[in-house]
Amino acid sequence: MTPTLHEWLHQSPLTGIFLTLLAYRVALSISRRYHGHPLANTVLVGAGLLIVSLLALGLSFDEYFRGAGFIQFLLGPVTVALAIPLYNNLARLKRSAFAILCSIVVGSVAGVASAVLIAVAFDLPPQIVLSLAPRSATTPIAIGVAEAIGGIPTLAAAFVIVTGIIGAVLARPLLALLRMNDDVVLGVATGIAAHGIGTARVFQISETAGAFAGLAMGLTGFVTAVVAPLLVHFLLS
Amino acid sequence: MIETFLWLLGYQFAGELLARSLGWPIPGAVLGMLFLFLTLCVRKGIPDTLRHNVPRLMTHMSLLFIPAGAGILAFWPLLAERPLAMAAVLLLSTLATLLISALTLTLLLRRQQGRKARP
């Protein structure tokens, strides 16, 4: 028996894939229209448009994800591809490797500590504090760390995404305010604080910034996975 | 394009195999990136197919995060519990992380370059 039109719309992966591409294309036009204004961020606007259209069409996130999962899958190979821009910046990386590695360690620790301390100051319940701790790392690492330290994995994933969007929006205006114009500084800080979403954002600004954001994102993941459990134990004891 | 994806998926595959067999909590793609970077350093060059196709791929990296961004819809009941406090914590801690990272790197780079780089 062939499904009705309504059932097909809810079941076909085509719906999710098409809606995602459409939302992205519209977000891209809006971003260009406002000359790359930070608030016209393509992930922020695209996801916003998509949420509105899912609610309007009565599609659940699970139905949407049947198609969108294919798009999200490409994050894997694209993450691997970050090695190419990084290699293109090999000279700069060699020159500043020590400074960059130190900043990534300091920044990763600051990422975990700031979330835990501020959450405690706001009197949030322990499970939420623990889910916030790994929020600067990429999603798979944050989920693993949250699980290991007693947080809620799905909540941790949500915090990661919101953190990424906040970081992607704020990184450039903040550094411009501080008169920090080095693409390497922009890239490293954004990669530490806002993982892949921030990396995608700074790629729109400069390939160098994107390359160093990708490196910082990867290494912040390593450091967070190793340091977060110890640091959280220390801060909360 | 086929060769490009063979390279990228191949390195992701290797990364996944290593991470899983050692039980590391690191995503295979991140290990794959580091392996590919090391390979390029040893090879002293980028294969043509990657040099040609990867830049076009990176331009639209944002697209790949839109499904995760829309995931906020699914997570909303969890986030809506104490929305203001959580928004404040995320905003302040992200600002603090950006600030500390950027200041640390700027200071270290200046120290490394000596007096020349001072404004």
Instruction: Encode pLDDT of A20-39 as tens digits.
Output: 999 999 999 999 999 989 99
In this complex, do A174 and B12 lie within 8 Å of one another by their Cβ atoms? no
Average pLDDT, chain A: 93
Handedness of CA A179, A182, A187, A188 (dihedral sign): negative
Q: What is the mean pLDDT of residues A192-199?
A: 95
A140 shares its domain with A200? yes
Q: Which of A73, A97, A123 is the last residue of a domain?
A: A73
Enumerate residue ranges in chain B where pLDDT < 50: 117
Domain range holding A52? 5-73
In a mutational test of the A interface, the residue from B4, B18, B24, B61 whose CB has the highest number of chain A CBs within 10 Å is B61
Select the residue from B73, B97, B118 to test the A interface by mutation, using most A Cβ atoms within 10 A.
B97
Show the tokens assigned to B103.
């200041």
Do the chains contact at A71 and B26, CB–CB below 8 Å?
Answer: no
In a domain, B37, yes or no: yes
ipTM: 0.91
User: Do A92 and A194 fall within a single domain?
Assistant: yes
**Domain count along chain B:** 2
The pLDDT of residue B115 is 52
A136 touches A220 (CB < 8 A): yes
**Domain-embedded: residue B55:** yes
* Residue of chain B whose alpha carbon sits nearest to that of A219: B30
**Domain co-membership, B56 together with B10:** yes
User: Which of B25, B51, B70 is nearest residue A144 as measured by Cβ atoms?
Assistant: B25
Residues A51, A157, single domain; the answer is no
Record: contact A55-B90, CB cut-off 8 A: no
Query: Domain of B8?
Result: 1-67
A87–B98 CB contact, under 8 Å: no
Check whether residue A54 and residue A31 sit in a common domain. yes
Same domain, A147 and A69: no
How large is the angle between the packed helices A13-33 and A61-73, nearest 10 degrees? 70
- Considering the domain architecture, whether residues A101 and A205 belong to the same structural domain is answered as yes
Q: Among A4-13, A15-24, A149-158, B109-118, where is mean pLDDT lowest?
A: B109-118
On whether residue B75 sits in a domain, the answer given is no
Give the model's confidence band at A69: pLDDT under 50 very low, under 70 low, under 90 confident, else very high.
Answer: very high
Structural domain contains residue B9: yes
Question: What is the model's pLDDT at position A96?
Answer: 92
Residues A98-124 have a mean pLDDT of 96
- The whole-number average pLDDT for the span A136-162 is 89
Nearest chain A Cα distance for residue B50, angstroms: 8
Give me the sign of the Cα torsion angle A215, A218, A224, A227. Answer: negative
pLDDT at B3: 95
Number of domains, chain A: 2
Count of other CB atoms within 10 angstroms of residue A34: 12
Q: Evaluate if residue A226 carries a pLDDT over 90.
A: no
Q: What is this structure's pTM? A: 0.90
Nearest to B96 among A20, A110, A207 (CB): A110
**Beta-carbon count within 10 A of A53 CB:** 15
Give residue A186's pLDDT.
97
Domain boundary among A73, A89, A117: A73
Confidence at residue B23, expressed as pLDDT on a 0 to 100 scale: 82
Structure tokens given for B91: 């905003």
CA distance B21 to chain A (A): 16
What's the mean pLDDT in A215-222?
Answer: 92
Give the CA distances from residue B25 to residues A64, A171, B15, B86, in Å, rounded to whole numbers and listed in that order. Answer: 28, 27, 12, 26
Name the residue facing A106 among B40, B98, B100 (closest C-beta). B100
Q: How far apart, in Å, are the Cα atoms of A217 and each of A14, A20, A54, B23, B28?
A: 31, 24, 30, 20, 14
Q: Are A27 and A48 members of one domain?
A: yes
Q: Both B22 and B49 in a single domain?
A: yes
Instruction: Check B95 against A182: CB less than 8 A apart.
Output: no
**Number of CB atoms found within 10 A of residue A7's CB:** 10
Task: Determine the average pLDDT of the residues in A30-51.
Answer: 94
Confidence of residue A144 (pLDDT cuts 50, 70, 90): confident
Residues in chain A: 237
Q: Write down which residue in A73, A93, A110 finishes a domain.
A: A73
Establish if B76 belongs to a structural domain.
Answer: no
**pLDDT score recorded for residue A19:** 96
Mutate which of B8, B31, B39, B101 to test chain A, going by most A C-beta atoms within 10 A?
B101
